[in-house]
């Protein structure tokens, strides 16, 4: 192993100095050695064929470097091609063969030599940007980027192995894109499923205590996978040949959204993760009536996320409702075939759209002069609620969408009611349209399995010969004599609605 007295980081000299063993490997000359992560990051560049930097992955790498007791980073693969830099920079990188360690005899090109690499730097000790294009990152771009960021935070550095491939010889396809393709497509890596199975089935090498410290989701995966019960058969069929990978995904979601790791007793951890997985399994079974559900790669992770992060405090029927609404939304917008999108992203988009629709309050009134003051009072209360709770509830008077005298509901009104959150209906004047619209909203809530999001009004002084008709007579309705009474009581009703259905900022509480 080389020593590190070569001014590796350019200190006290005008170049960065690395050392490694050089030989020909198949078609290419390669130099293998060791260097600090910060040095390799400093002397190299990344090209457009690389995968986009995933900033969310940075935290995982930093956590691994900080806390893991078995830390190891795979070899960083770089390429060297001086043909990619301006002529005046080609002499700024030098390869000096210092000593032959192994003589191949009849094949001198295959001799193993100790080779020194010198990369010239400017007065500030930095590699000029044009010169950095000569050394490109073929494999390990994420590792260099995130590890270097972490090192700068903790004022420490790590030594890793590197492989520098000399691409200056013209052999046709000698470029880093081709090497990148070879690494990522031709080699058959150990599959996730095989890797997980090896860990899960080896409690001696990977004890529960070890997994709890090093990779808590792996421990949760073991507990679920080892549970011998046929109740998971339906959800396991969805997993196909990636059973453990999917369980591990569920375990990761659970780990991010719960505090199971705080339990000291393993049995408490096992009991709680199985309880969550039983619930996820039940929710999945109830969604199986949607044919396309089985084709959603992220469906089980999504169910776990929604259950834990959004609906776990609500009734099971409410959780089911939200998931079914989400599935319907995917189908309506032809989004089942989406690739390269996370379940959090697609759920958050849906939820934001739904939240904007929930801000609509539909007001169903008879078309009469007497109802104008009622509508003004409703608007006034909604404005007060908006101001108090920093919301944007929008009152929409449905009779503005009615065309002539009708005794049904137009498609446009039906669409608005379906997409809205709350309906306020004034039953004072026995108006047929109001009764139809309230009845439709009641049926819609019943179909969704939700409580009726309806506030019924009745002016007991307007016409004492009129009473509430049909099955609505047994429903709770807000009775008032004056607009002052209406505004006082309606404010209480709307405040309860905002809190119960988590509108606006209450969505997170």
Going along the chain from its start, the domains and CATH numbers come out as: 15-186 (no CATH), 192-337 (no CATH), 359-508 (3.40.50.450)
Tell me if 390 sits within 8 A of 403, measured CB to CB: no
Q: Using the CB atoms, write b or e for 243-277: b if 16+ within 10 Å.
A: bbbbbbbbbbbbbebbebeeeeeeeebbebbbebb
* 217 three-class SS: helix
User: How many CB atoms are located within 10 Å of the residue 151 CB?
Assistant: 18
Q: Which two tokens stand for residue 505?
A: 């900022």
Strand-pairing partners, residue 456, are 425
Tell me if 90 sits within 8 A of 192, measured CB to CB: no
User: How many CB atoms are located within 10 Å of the residue 239 CB?
Assistant: 17
Q: Which two tokens stand for residue 25?
A: 């490997």
Tell me if 451 sits within 8 A of 425, measured CB to CB: no
Tell me if 131 sits within 8 A of 120, measured CB to CB: yes
Q: Using the CB atoms, write b or e for 33-69: b if 16+ within 10 Å.
A: bbbbbbbbbbbbbbbeebeeeeeeebeebbebbeeee
Q: Using the CB atoms, write b or e for 161-194: b if 16+ within 10 Å.
A: ebbbbbbeeeeeebbbeebbeeeeeeeeeeeebe
CA distances from 30 to 35, 163, 164 (A): 15, 7, 5
pTM > 0.75: yes or no: no
Question: pLDDT tens digits for the chain (509 residues)?
Answer: 333 333 444 445 588 989 999 988 877 889 999 998 888 988 888 875 555 555 555 566 666 666 656 677 789 999 888 888 888 888 888 888 888 887 765 566 678 889 999 998 888 888 888 888 888 888 888 777 776 666 666 556 678 899 998 887 544 434 555 566 556 544 445 457 888 888 888 888 788 988 888 889 999 999 998 886 677 777 787 777 788 888 888 898 888 888 887 888 889 898 989 888 888 888 888 887 777 676 677 788 888 888 887 655 555 666 777 787 788 777 766 676 666 567 777 787 777 666 665 678 889 898 888 899 999 999 999 999 999 888 888 888 877 665 444 444 566 666 666 666 788 998 888 888 888 888 888 877 766 555 678 899 988 887 766 766 656 665 778 899 999 999 999 999 999 888 776 665 444 33
**Alpha-carbon gap, residue 1 to 3, rounded angstroms:** 7
Q: Which residue has the tokens 């503005």?
A: 400
Closest listed residue to residue 280, CA positions, set 247, 255, 321, 327 = 247
């Amino acid at each position: 192993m080389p020593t590190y007295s070569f001014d590796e980081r350019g200190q006290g000299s005008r170049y960065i100095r690395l050392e490694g063993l050089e030989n020909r490997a198949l078609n290419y000359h390669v130099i293998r050695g060791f260097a600090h992560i910060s040095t390799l990051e400093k002397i190299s560049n990344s090209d457009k064929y690389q995968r986009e930097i995933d900033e969310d992955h940075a935290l995982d790498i930093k956590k691994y470097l900080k806390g893991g007791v078995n830390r190891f980073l795979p070899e960083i693969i770089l390429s060297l091609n001086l043909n990619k830099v301006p002529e005046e920079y080609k002499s700024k990188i030098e390869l000096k063969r210092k000593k032959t360690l192994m003589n191949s005899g009849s094949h001198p090109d295959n001799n193993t030599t100790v080779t020194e690499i010198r990369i010239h730097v400017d007065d500030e000790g930095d590699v000029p940007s044009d010169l950095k294009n000569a050394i490109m990152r073929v494999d390990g771009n994420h590792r260099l980027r995130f590890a270097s960021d972490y090192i700068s935070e903790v004022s420490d550095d790590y030594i890793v192995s590197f492989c520098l491939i000399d691409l200056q010889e013209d052999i046709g396809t000698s470029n880093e894109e081709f090497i990148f393709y070879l690494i990522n497509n031709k080699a058959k890596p150990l599959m996730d499923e095989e890797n997980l199975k090896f860990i899960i089935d080896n409690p001696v090498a990977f004890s529960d205590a070890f997994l709890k410290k090093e990779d808590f989701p792996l421990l949760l995966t073991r507990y679920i996978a080892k549970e011998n019960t046929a109740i998971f058969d339906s959800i396991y069929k969805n997993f196909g040949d990636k059973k453990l990978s999917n369980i591990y995904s569920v375990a990761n979601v659970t780990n991010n959204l719960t505090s199971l790791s705080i339990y000291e007793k393993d049995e408490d951890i096992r009991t709680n993760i199985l309880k969550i997985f039983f619930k996820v399994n039940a929710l999945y079974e109830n969604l199986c009536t949607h044919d396309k559900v089985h084709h959603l790669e992220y469906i089980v992770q999504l169910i776990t996320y929604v259950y834990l992060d959004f609906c776990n405090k609500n009734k099971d029927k409410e959780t089911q409702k939200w998931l079914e609404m989400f599935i319907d939304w995917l189908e309506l917008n032809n989004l089942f075939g989406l690739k390269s999108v996370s379940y959090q992203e697609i759920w958050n988009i849906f939820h934001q759209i739904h939240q904007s629709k929930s801000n609509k309050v539909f007001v169903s009134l008879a078309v009469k002069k007497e109802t104008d003051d009622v509508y003004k009072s409703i608007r006034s209360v909604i404005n007060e609620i908006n101001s108090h709770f920093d919301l944007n509830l929008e009152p929409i008077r449905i009779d503005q969408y009615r065309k002539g005298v009708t005794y049904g509901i137009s498609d446009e009104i039906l669409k608005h009611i379906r997409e809205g959150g709350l309906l306020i209906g004034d039953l004072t004047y026995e108006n047929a349209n109001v009764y139809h619209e309230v009845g439709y909203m009641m049926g819609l809530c019943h179909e969704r399995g939700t409580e009726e999001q309806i506030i019924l009004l009745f002016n007991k002084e307007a016409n004492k010969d009129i009473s509430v008709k049909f099955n609505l007579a047994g429903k709770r309705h807000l009775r008032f004599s004056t607009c002052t009474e209406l505004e006082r009581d309606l404010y209480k009703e709307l405040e309860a609605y905002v809190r119960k259905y988590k509108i606006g900022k209450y969505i997170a509480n």
